[in-house]
A and B are shown apart, each in its own frame.
Chain A
Amino acid sequence: MAGVAVSTTINGDSVEYLCQPDETLLEVLRDRLGLTGAKEGCGTGDCGACSVILDGRLVCSCLVLGAEAEGRQVETVEGMAHGEQLHPLQQKFLEHAALQCGICTPGFLIAAKDLLAKNPSPTEEEIRFGLAGNLCRCTGYDKIVRAVQDAANMMRGA
């Protein structure tokens, strides 16, 4: 099978790669580009651990083909911090202990970033429904919701 040449932008950097036509964006990120922050929890779009933002839209990268990233903007967890400066969500997840095992954390951070970009002052219910596509089995979500609330306050300068 011939490879597909793809030019895309990942976390602001121009990236080129060859991938197979049936290869998912998640496989490309993890296996070809070494960006292992996105995780495969199910491979069927049910757990959200592989969440990335594609042209401003939250997607499961296991349901997107690597070839589909051509000419588009991809944001992953690796691009959230600026050098040593953590994103407010990252900082608040740490402060609130919103992670235990941490495998779902990159997906939650990306989903929460997307949520706050669209709704900077979400209610608890809006946070809960906004993050309902991401599974966490450790925390019971309590501390995740609180961390997102606190980060939203911080980002609004409240």
Chain B
Amino acid sequence: MNFDPRYSTRNFTAVGTRPIRPDGIDKVTGRARYGADFNMAGQLVGRILRSPHAHAKIKKIDTSKAEKLPGVKAVITAADLPDHTNGDAAMYDILDNCMARKKALYDGHAVAAVAAIDARTARQALKLIEVDYEVLAHVTDVDEAMKHGAPLINDAVFTEGLEEKPVKPSNVTKRSQFGHGDVHAGFGHADFVVERSFRTEQTHQGYIEPHACVASANADGTADLWVCTQGHFVYRQHCAQLLGMDASKLRVTSSEIGGGFGGKTHVWAEPVALALSRKAGRPVKLVMTRDEVFRASGPTSATSIDVRIGARKDGTITAAEATLRYSCGPYAGSWAEVGAMTSFACYRLENVKTVGYEVLVNRPKTAAYRAPSAPMAAFAVESAIDELAKMVGMDPVDFRIKNAAQEGTRSSYGPVYGPIGIGPTLEAVKNHPHMKAPLGKNQGRGMACGFWFNFGGQTCTDLNIGMDGSVSLAVGTIDVGGSRASLSLIAAEELGIAYEHVKAVVADTSSLGYNDMTDGSRGTFSTSMATISAARNAIRTLRERAAQMWDISVDDVAWEHGHAVARGEKHGNLGKLSLKEIAAASGTTGGPIAGHSELVADGAGVSFATHICDIEVDPETGATRVLRYTVVQDAGKAVHPTYVEGQYQGGAAQGIGWALNEEYIYGKDGRLQNAGFLDYRIPVCSDLPMIDTQILEIPNPNHPYGVRGVGETSIVPPLAAIANALSNAAGVRMTHIPMSPPRVLAALEAAREG
């Protein structure tokens, strides 16, 4: 669906307003039901036994004692999850991650599970399971894992993407490369070159709701699954395939979701809960503890990145190059590839080359985390860009404006851009009062840019008009942060009725066609396209019914502001018919009125943001405090501006936590040492200032209202914005994230010692 330019001059009546969300009241009264808030009759409690070893061969598992414990109804191991993946390597990895088959590949890898009548019995049963491990050498560091002689995690892995097929197995699963031009020649034309190496540590999405589900497998081969997920249709597909059942026989109902940020896009416990339920013949509730969430869900990659950028005296970048190594956990991924694609996406470059390496380590399987892979690449590139601007002697904003990508620029990862927001966000930052505010002692200001692709994907939506004229909107994308409000606004806008008369719900997998997950910032973008399409289909029917009621041709009936209007002089005597009047008559004019839509939402417009940040560093402790923060981002069209602001603020806060505090800390034994919110410290209220936002609206040409995804880009710039602010405050260039007090203090002391 293309952008309709009439909309840019049109006065939106619903879109752009800020009503209260339809699911709000349940959420402030405690009535909203999340993953762990649902129960079934006869339900058992499931618990998972996890490997204490980073890398170990599983020689034998003896479950006999656990099975004999009174109250235990089922014990399962990998033997109860036979391989139905038929050579699908990615699905086999998911199966192996749900329950280790031959080797435990990380601290926390599931090896067995029980279902018992209560939690205490289940915990006791886990202690009675005897696992005979042969502990193997492990590697958890991304650079160490690439070295010759590093412990091999999977000896069947030979690096893909090399010119010559390797003869030896490796922990590097794939090499990927992007770019154009001739970087060697480009660096030859540079007057200044910055070359730096960076590291970022592994972080977790840190959603407050642990993974939770209730699985009920029936004797007739059908099953129900209640689960917190970002994609119930994808969970259905994966669970059905792993359990060897027809997808249509598994109904998945999504609960309210207590945060996901990419972390609830993969199945971990759900196939285990279904297998337990199948074996026990009763429903099984399985809720992860916080410790399990940290050890055994899907954090983001740890990275090691080298960047080299050259520029002429006039500030033109002549060449840019990056080598990116991303940890994947013990299974293949495409994380470095995505990082390599995003690295230089903000800039107009004649010569650019990025190379990514996917690296296996004995850590949990990497999952998506909000604009996955982009923040680390942006940390490295935007830090180097700032340094280069200083060498050239230009203001960092002006330097970026001079080199910013524009409409028609061939991006560093291939495609040619349409209308984009990088230039406008930079201009807005240049003119923002924040840039002129005074700074005190030990304070500094930094800025940085960020890019995210955005995604569209498969989408299916139903719009049903009740006989009272109110509208039920059934969508298949999970609402992670207010999309039921924005989609209700879209339906109200298109139909020309009040927001209050639309109620959006997330339908279960048996009630609607397939939908991709809520990922890639697609929820509002793609489902609003499907909602507009469904509403237009409903309007066609409404016009037909009005034509029937008036006994005129449908071609003479238009739809305006929620009413059918007869067109043409011969119908001059006919008044308007409201949606409500047409709906009330529907029983005698052909039955229920509905609009349906199924589409692939192509054309998610790319997204850019520029952030400004003021910090103060304590020279005694190395602690860094964020004093002021401003986010400027292109939304295409902000459907519900308050929730757009919320996405900007939330992403910035996560980025601030990543920049300053958060990291997975592994001991020499390969065990995670900080699997809890006390030691893995995410920002609390007193750590942060207000986060100012400025929404720009550069219409996405592929959406009828110009909407772009807004959810992810805001986490991309903070790492570099804070590093640049620290550099300006204290004269130290931080190259290792998080910039925790000990690291900053060490840098300050090194600088003092000169």
Q: Which of A's residues lie within 8 Å of B, judged by CB? A: 20, 22, 30, 35-44, 46-47, 49, 76-78, 80-81, 86, 90, 93-97, 99-106, 109, 124-125, 127-129, 131-145
Contacts and interface: CB of A to CB of B under 8 A. Distances in A.
Interface stretch (B31-39, B560-568, B588-596): B31-39
A128 B687 CA distance: 8
Contact of B29 (A80, A125, A145): A80
Nearest to A143: B646
B643 A100 contact: yes
25 contacts: A37-B31, A39-B34, A41-B210, A41-B677, A43-B290, A46-B678, A77-B29, A86-B25, A94-B24, A97-B18, A99-B28, A100-B480, A100-B643, A101-B209, A101-B260, A103-B256, A104-B208, A106-B28, A125-B686, A127-B685, A128-B688, A137-B208, A137-B654, A139-B653, A142-B649
B257 interface: yes
Contacts of A81: 29
B281 interface: no
Nearest to B629: A140
B120 interface: yes
Contacts of A97: 18, 21, 482, 642-643, 646
A46 B682 CA distance: 11
B625 to A, nearest CB: 12
Contacts of A131: 684-686
Interface string B348-366: 0000000000000000000
Contacts of A37: 29-31
B639 to A, nearest CB: 13
A128 B685 contact: yes
Contacts of B642: 96-97, 143
A112 B27 CA distance: 16
Interface string B643-686: 10110011011100000000000000000000011100011111
A77 B208 contact: no
A136 B208 contact: yes
A100 B685 contact: no
A127 to B, nearest CB: 7
B248 interface: no
Given A132-B684, A137-B206, A144-B685, A100 B650 contact: yes
Given A41-B290, A97-B482, A143-B646, 10 more contacts: A46-B290, A77-B29, A97-B646, A132-B686, A135-B677, A137-B205, A137-B206, A137-B650, A139-B646, A141-B653
B435 interface: no
> For chain A, what secondary structure do more than half of its interface residues adopt (helix, strand, loop), or is it mixed?
loop
B676 A109 contact: no
Given A90-B29, A94-B25, A101-B209, A142 B691 contact: yes
A141 B676 CA distance: 21
B261 A137 contact: yes
B261 to A, nearest CB: 7
Nearest to A86: B28
B262 interface: no
B289 interface: yes
A141 B643 contact: no
B658 to A, nearest CB: 12
A42 B676 CA distance: 7
A49 B690 CA distance: 22
A138 B29 contact: no
A97 B645 CA distance: 10
B496 interface: no
Contact of B34 (A22, A43, A103, A144): A103
A39 B208 contact: yes
A85 B409 CA distance: 56
Given A42-B677, A100-B650, A138-B650, A76 B30 contact: yes
A133 B677 CA distance: 11
Contact of A20 (B28, B120, B649): B120
A89 to B, nearest CB: 8
A135 B653 CA distance: 12
Max chain A CB contacts within 10 Å: which of B24, B33, B207, B684? B684
B29 A101 contact: no
A15 B687 CA distance: 39
A71 to B, nearest CB: 24
B257 A106 contact: no
